[in-house]
Structure 1
Amino acid sequence: MHIHNLSQQNSVLNTFISEIRNVYIQKDKMRFRKNIERIGEVLGYEMSKVLNYTTSEIKTPLGTSKINLISDNIVLCSILRAGIPLHNGLLNYFDASENAFISAYRHHQENSDDFEIIVEYLACPDLENKTLILADPMLATGQSMVTTFEALKPFGTPKDIHLISVIGAQEGVDYLKTHFSNDTHLWIAAIDEKLNDKGYIVPGLGDAGDLSYGEKLQH
């Protein structure tokens, strides 16, 4: 797997990451969502550098101009609900892409720390020979990414796969390496050192879905 950890080089991305982590700033839900969206834009811009391009001729008022434009047929798939702001950021840059949405949540049996990932909703176009962007803001154990990708397989085989996350744990990154092909790309804004006993990223930022849209009742 090709891992692109954007935190290894300083940029304005540092500001957005610091604000979504900050316990005082993240209380502003609108700002939290906007920062996730902006991070999605940065990740999308960096990812665009490895896509496929063809030369097009553009007519201007004074002549013609040749420019290389993305030739990939992109399908942008986000995991609900936390993935919506990230999806919007990516869609700002890949506005011609097709879109897919999938729900995935942790189901804890008998209030234990052990859980399984449950998928209950999926809307997806044909993926055959297209470029799939699978986005989930928090890469903790990596199980959500793998489970949702398995659920997408009946829709066709993509020619390229790009995974997008805001913050991940090294354990989750390692898990993805064993479940995705070597030519898969992971684009991530920061990788934290560990998970706690409940499978949450430390230091992380908390629950991205709750911070974006409010706390939810547990199943």
Structure 2
Amino acid sequence: MIIHNLSQQNSVLNTFISEMRHVKIQKDSMRFRRNIERIGEVLGYEMSKILTYKSSKIDTPLGSCQINLMENDIVLCSILRAGIPLHNGLLNYFDTAENAFISAYRHHKHHIETFEIIVEYLACPKLENKTLILADPMLATGQSMVATFEALKPFGTPKNIHLVSVIGAEPGINYVNEHFPKNTHLWIATIDKTLNNESYIIPGLGDAGDLAFGKKLQK
């Protein structure tokens, strides 16, 4: 897997990440969602630099010009519910993309430290020979990404796969690396070292879905 860790270079992205992590600022749900969206825009812009382009003729009111335009057939898939703001940020830049949505959540059978990933809802176009962008803001254990990838396989084999996350943990990134094709790209704003006993990223920021949309009932 090819990892693009944008925190290795200083940029305005650091401001968005700091506000999402900050224990007081993150309580503003609208600001939290907007920061995820802005990070999605930045990650999408960086990703666009390595996509496929072709020269196209554009007619203007005063003449014509040649410009290189993307020719990738993109499908943007987000994991509900925390992925919605990240999806919106990416869609702001890849506005002609087809869209897919999947629900994947942690189901705790016995106690908080053990869980399985449950996929209950999936809407997806054909993926054969297309560019798949799979978005989930928090890459903790990596199990949600892998479960989503497995659920998408009946829809065809993508030509290219790009994973997009805001914050990831090294164990989760290693897990994803073992289960995705070698030429998969991971675009991520920052990477943390570890997980706690409940498999949340440390230092992380907490539960992105709860911070964006309010607390949910646990199943």
TM-score by length of 2: 0.99
The runs of at least 4 aligned residues of structure 1 exceeding 4 Å deviation read: none
Mapping for residues 1-219 of structure 1, pairs under 5 Å: 1-219=1-219
Report the residue type matching 2:76 in the other structure. Answer: L
Distance in structure 1 (CA, Å) of the matches to 2:6 and 2:112: 35
TM-superposed CA distance for 1:19, in Å, is 0.3
SS of aligned partner of 2:134: strand
For 2:20, the aligned partner's letter is I
Question: 1:28–1:112: structure 2 CA closer, same or farther, 3 Å change rule?
Answer: closer
Q: Secondary structure at the match of 2:179?
A: coil
Distance 1:63 1:25 in 2: 50
Alignment partners' CA distance in 1, 2:136 and 2:105: 12
Equivalents in 1 of 2:75, 2:202: separation in Å? Answer: 31
The separation in 1 between residues aligned to 2:113 and 2:201, in whole angstroms, is: 14
Deviation per CA, 1:108-158: give whole Å up to 9, x if none.
Answer: 112241111000000000000000000000000000000000000000000
**Aligned equivalents of 2:178 and 2:218: distance in 1?**
30
Q: Report the identity percentage.
A: 76
Say what the alpha-carbon RMSD is for the aligned residues. 0.5
Q: For the residues of structure 2 that align with 1:20 and 1:45, how far apart are their CA atoms? A: 20
Q: Secondary structure at the match of 1:120?
A: strand
In 1: Cα distance, 2:217 partner to 2:84 partner? 19
1:36-59 deviation line (CA, Å, top 9, x unaligned): 000000000000011000110000
Amino acid at match of 2:78: S
Aligned equivalents of 2:137, 2:147: Cα separation in 1: 15
Contact 2:98 2:125 (8 Å CA) reproduced: yes
Structure 2 unpaired stretches of 5+: none
For residues 154 and 180 of structure 1, the distance between their equivalents in structure 2, rounded to whole angstroms, comes to 16
Paired with 2:177 and 2:207, the residues of 1 have a C-alpha distance of 24
Structure 1: gaps spanning 5 or more residues? none
SS in 2 for 1:109: coil
Find the residue that maps to 1:176 and give its secondary structure. Answer: helix
| Equivalent position SS for 2:79 | strand
Distance 2:168 2:139 in 1: 4
Distance across 2 between alignment mates of 1:17 and 1:88: 17
Question: Equivalents in 1 of 2:197, 2:146: separation in Å?
Answer: 21
1:164-208 CA-partner distances (Å, limit 9, x unpaired): 000000001111111111100000000001000110000000000
| CA distances 1:39-91 after superposition (whole Å, capped 9, x unpaired) | 00000000001100011000011110100000000000000000000000000
What amino acid is aligned across from residue 109 of structure 1 in structure 2? K
User: Which secondary structure does the structure 1 equivalent of 2:120 belong to?
Assistant: coil
Provide the C-alpha distance between the structure 1 equivalents of 2:12 and 2:112, rounded to a whole number of angstroms: 40
